[in-house]
Structures are given as C-alpha cells and as structure tokens.
Structure 1
C-alpha cells in the first residue's frame, strides 16, 4: 500500500478545474448482443446491472476517443489556448493503446495543439485513472507542472473474443478527462490524498496473454486467441470487493474522514454486484453512490471519470461535496482518492450528440 495523505493549508495541491466524458455513437443494448451468446435483457441486467454499452465503429481508435474527451474537458474549463504554456503535461491512462509503442500521450498532446509538453502513459488497467490522478498530483505538488491534463480512454471491444459472452456483455468503450491545476490544499476542487497498491501474484486473473515481448520471444507458445481478453470472474469478484473496501477504509482514515463525511462514493464501474458489495462493506449509504454502469458498461480506466462527468452534468455533484473514489484492475492493482468537489462550470453530458470523434 502507498498512502498519500492530507497536508497543511498552503501546501501545493492538485485542483480539479475541468471535466468531461464521451462514449462512441454506437449503443448496443442487451437485445442486440450476438444471438450465439444465449443472453437476453433480463439475464444480463440480473448478473451485471448493464442495459446498454457503447462500442466503436471500425477504424475508430482509443486515441480518437481520448482526443474528444480531452477537448471537451478543456472546453469545460474555459481555458484560454492563447495563454502562455496553459498545460505543462499530459497523462493518458489506458490498457488498449493504439499501438505498443510509442505512448499515446505525446500524439494526444500534438492532436490537441498543446505543443512540446511532457507527455506519458500510465498502464494500471481499470485502476489507471486513479494512478494517473496520483501521478498528476505528484507532479504538481513537486512544482514540476502548474497544469496537467489527465485522460483515461479504452476501446475494450477490440479485445473481446467473438465467442466470449462473459466479457462481451460487460466491457465497453469510452473516455473521460480531467484538467488539474496547482492550488492550495483544502480549497474547493483539491485532491486530498490517495491509497495505492498492487499484488503481482494475481497477474493471470485478468490478462491479455499475447501481443507483448513474452509472446514474441516464445511464439510457439501463443496463438491468435491469446490476443483476446481473459478474466477469472469468480476470483476477480472476491479480490475487487476486498481490495476496494480496504483501500477506501485506509484512505478515509488517512484523510480524517468518517463514512458519514462522504457525500458521494464513486467506484470503478465493474458490475453492479461488485459496486453494491463494496458500498455495503465500507459502508456508504446507497443514496450517495454514483453509478452509470447501466448506461455505459465497464469502460476500464475511463469508468470513474465517466461516472463523475455523468453525475456533474446531472447535478448530483455539488461544490463542496466530499468525494471518495476507488478502483480495482488487472495487475492486480487498486487505488483510492479523496477530493473536495469544485464549483465547476457546465459539464457536458456524456453522450454522442456531437457526432463521431474529431479526426487527426
């Protein structure tokens, strides 16, 4: 565990000043899932809580979604692009990069017209957004950057095997982005602390076995099937509930909050049963949970910023709210964050009303 707690007033802190999310236009309802999977709407909702998920069209990449979400976040912050060096760094969290090399962040910065800023990727699977948020907070706190753009984007539909019902009903595509600036600890929007952890002994519980250096160095051991996503659902359920619960409890203690202090609880949108189990164990009252998995499915690293954007757009997040985030993903990795919600300007709805993502 790596706990990063609260600091005294006047200390540098990362402060949230922009937020947005987007999903691709293609909405796939439970009734539109492949007939060979043997599912129906009631079956999927009962097991996952999902009614609709969004999948990209052919030719649309993770980078395309990242550009759209990032631009929306910049627009929501009303940041003047003509200002001198308005953004110092770009961090992208993803498990589905456009290519193994180079990292996505430099190209994203280029497509956004941000110039020669520092840019790098974070690979922590579904915990990626919290890890990227912690990285950005550290860079700001160290005085390296004044303003950092954090983007989480996934195109999980490209990893699903055609016959994999268990993953196919759950995983989806989307992107979310936040803009952070340097501010003071305790001011509205400030990120107060983190708890991060991992357990590499569980690396095979959630994986894409092929496609990396391991497969290239021993090609006789791998097939095309190894390029698809695999997950041991029962084991993952237990780990996810345990890790997110413990991480949340440790962070609450570290920042000096009780459960009653939490105004909004936002967990990685894995499935409805995991969300319910974690909420009961912390325990945060159900009316304080933020969830949108029914509309977007499990979007990996993008799930928390998408849920935040949904809640902000609908008015469920208000200035001054004490917000607890928690996540769990492949690796195994997990992480939690605590922040005070800022007085943001209008946050655009998480939809596809503007059409397909901007092209390069």
Structure 2
C-alpha cells in the first residue's frame, strides 16, 4: 500500500538546513507596526510610530508601554530626546482622548525630564504649558513630570520662567478633594514640585503670590486630621510639606505669610509624629518663623513642650534645631516666661543658652504696678 504522507528530509547540506531563499527584507516597511527594533533602531522606530496621526489608541498605548520600558538608562533617554520624542509625546498629552495614552505619554515625559537634554527638549516644544494643562486631566502623571523638573537646579530655573501659570495650577490641584482621579500620589508630586521651586528667591515670591503657605498648611491638616490621614504614604507628603514651609519660613517675606496662615500650629503638630525627617524640617521651619517678632510667642505657646522634649532627646540634630527655635523665641519676654516655666535653671544653661543665661531686661525683672488716681479719691496726707 502506498503512503501519501509528506516526506521528512534529513540532510547536512546548507541548502537543506536553510531552505528559505526569499528576500531578506520585505519590499515595503509596515509603518504602523508596533515592534521593537534591534540596536540603534529600537527607539527611533517607536518614535516614528507615535508620530503617526492615524493610529488606533490601543496600538498607541502598546507602543508607549514598550517605549517607556526602553527608557531605563540615561543613554536611551538622551537618544530619545535626540530623535525628537518630546514633540509627539506632548501632542498625545494635549490632543489624544484616550486616558491611558495620556497617562503613558506623561510618564514618558517624566522619564525624559530626568536628563538635562530632555528638560530642554520638552521646554522647546512648549511642554510645560501642556503639562500644566494636563494637571486637571491626568494629575498624578503630569505632576510627576513637573516633579522631575523640580529635582534639578536647571529644571527649577525652567519652571520659574513659567511660574505664573505653573504655581497656581499646582495650588489648584492641591485644593481638589481626594477621589480616584486626585490621589495622594498626585498631591505628593505637586507638593514636591512646589518644594523644589521654593529653593530659589523667585520661587518663594511666586509661591507667596499664589498663596502657597495657606495651601501647604491645608494639605498638612488634611493629612493630620482630615481625609488623607489613613493613606499609606502620608509621611512622605508631610515631609515635603515641612520642607516647603521651612524654605518659605526662612524667607524675609515668607515669615509673614506663614504666620498669617497659622503655619506654627500645624508645624507644632508635626513635632509629635514618629517620623524623624518630618520632625527635623518642622523644627527648622519653626526656627525660621521664630525669628519674626510677632511669631515668637505663638511658637513657644504651641510648640514649646515638643521643643523641650526634642532638646532633652538623644538625637543631636533634632536637639540643635529645637534649641535654635527656643533661643530665637525666648528673645520675647512673654515667650521667655514660658521657656523658664518649661526648663530648669540647669537646662537653661546646658540646653538653651549653653552657659549663663543672658541678663533679663529691667522691665521684666522689676514689674511694678501703681494704682491709678481718680478724681475724688482722698489724697494721702
């Protein structure tokens, strides 16, 4: 009986081992195919795909996921910037209707903004305005991209050039109620951006114009007693708030704004947390605030007990910040009375003044009250 099954040929000849004799490359390249090329063509291929106008959103999202996976080294990020990745990414953030595509595009811009060439490339195509507008649609990822700018000195300089629009947009984000769209991660990225911008004098002035001290105090209260108090990464956000308030409190004009926003109350509450970095920056912020005459009594009344506890502790850095704050506040007579009630004479010499305490002013040492004379009272003989 004859078998019609196909035969299996075994041979060591090259023609049998490699029977494919077709052309090595197709005659036409598939322009919208989402595929990772090899070598130097990997990133340019995906950028060309992302620049296409007629491309389904699911393919765009797939291409962005592959593209973000390639941005793992500084060389790849620099290569992507050189190939012009910033322009199509900004266009997707501003024009695409698909939410996932916008989020992935903002994440790609955040990766590019981690290198200096990427920050300059994003600014050159108007990316800061795009990211500022995207704070309302994709708040977490857009604020994360701005946070990448604020992590460097040159990035802060670029942000300060657009501070008139960036800072109010970040304040508006922090004023939003917590919901699935506006998460704690979005608030943390926004606070981190503001903290980076307030490292410069121009940034502090822009923050004062946008009422940032009031916004930071409100955010801290939401974390201490409000709707954010049960979030897992709350301490990171509170630390960033304390760092931002510290930089504003050490500014000549920022002291008044922080006093009017009652920052001393929330900073005093931060001293009771079990998070060393937050306590350190909160005490440093109070030390800057206590330099102002009008804030000395408030600092001592609200934070005096916590400051004394830190001064008596074993942490030298926390004790130093607390000591500076107590010494600055004790220059006021009312605040000094409170300090003397909280500290013994030995502690005043060892902890606060490091030696004999300064001489008490005469108007505090001798307090004399004379009765007021009223007409009709009998005069003494």
Query: TM-score normalised by the shorter chain: which range applies?
Result: under 0.3
Question: Structure 2 length as normaliser, TM-score?
Answer: 0.21
Question: Structure 1 length as normaliser, TM-score?
Answer: 0.22
The structure, 1 or 2, with the larger RCO (C-alpha pairs under 8 Å, 6+ apart) is 1
Flag the structure with higher strand content. Answer: 1
Rg larger in 1 or in 2? 2
Flag the structure with higher helix content. Answer: 2
